[in-house]
Structure 1
Amino acid sequence: MPVIAPVSELRNYGNILEKVKTGSPVYLTRNGHGAYSIRDMKDEEHFQRAEAMIQLICELNAGIRSAEEEGWVSEEEMREHFHRRREEAK
């Protein structure tokens, strides 16, 4: 069950922080509407990893769509491309 509290309870922030647990953030409301959340750092790390995975999947899907529309690049072309880039960087 989520913990929901008004922002005004932050005056006694110690009481609010005691309610924050891994997997159970505290949601703060302002004027009866959700405004903020306080999460455990482990939850934050999981959230950031999930965001990174979503971004990676989106980029991979964009690459697949591009390849289907414009044609796939052969393995040899890919190797040559990265070999040239490495040589240019030297």
Structure 2
Amino acid sequence: MRNYTEVLKQVDDSSRVYLTRNGHGEYGILTMAEIDELDRCRAAYTLLSKLKKAEERADKDGWISADELEKELGVAD
């Protein structure tokens, strides 16, 4: 890419720049703020997915008491 600086001037939160290979979209250039936001969204999605699976398992297999949880986590007295 010969006009690297000019391309980066076009990138902002409302205007992404796409790079193509053989006429097909291959890459997208994002701002660091957008990448940080994507990382936060991915982390939140992962957490919610795990919580949903845990809730489904608890509904199926039964919930444990707070004492059992502490014992399982190794924090029981």
TM range (shorter): 0.7 to 0.9
Q: Which runs of 4+ in 1 moved over 4 A?
A: none
Unpaired segments ≥5 residues, structure 1 = 1-9
1:20-31 matches, within 5 Å, as 20-31=11-22
CA-to-aligned-CA distance 1:10-31 (integer Å, 9 cap, x gap): 2211111010112422111111
Deviation at 1:76, TM superposition (A): 1.7
Unpaired segments ≥5 residues, structure 2 = none
Q: By percentage of residues, which structure has more helix?
A: 1
Alignment length, in residue pairs?
Answer: 76
Task: Name the CA distance, whole Å, in 2 between partners of 1:79 and 1:26.
Answer: 50
Moved more, 69-78 or 48-57: 69-78
TM-score (norm 1): 0.75
1:1-90 matches, within 5 Å, as 10-82=1-73, 83=75
Task: Give the secondary-structure state (helix, strand or coil) at the position aligned to 2:3.
Answer: helix
The percentage of aligned residue pairs carrying the same residue is: 36
Deviation at 1:80, TM superposition (A): 2.3
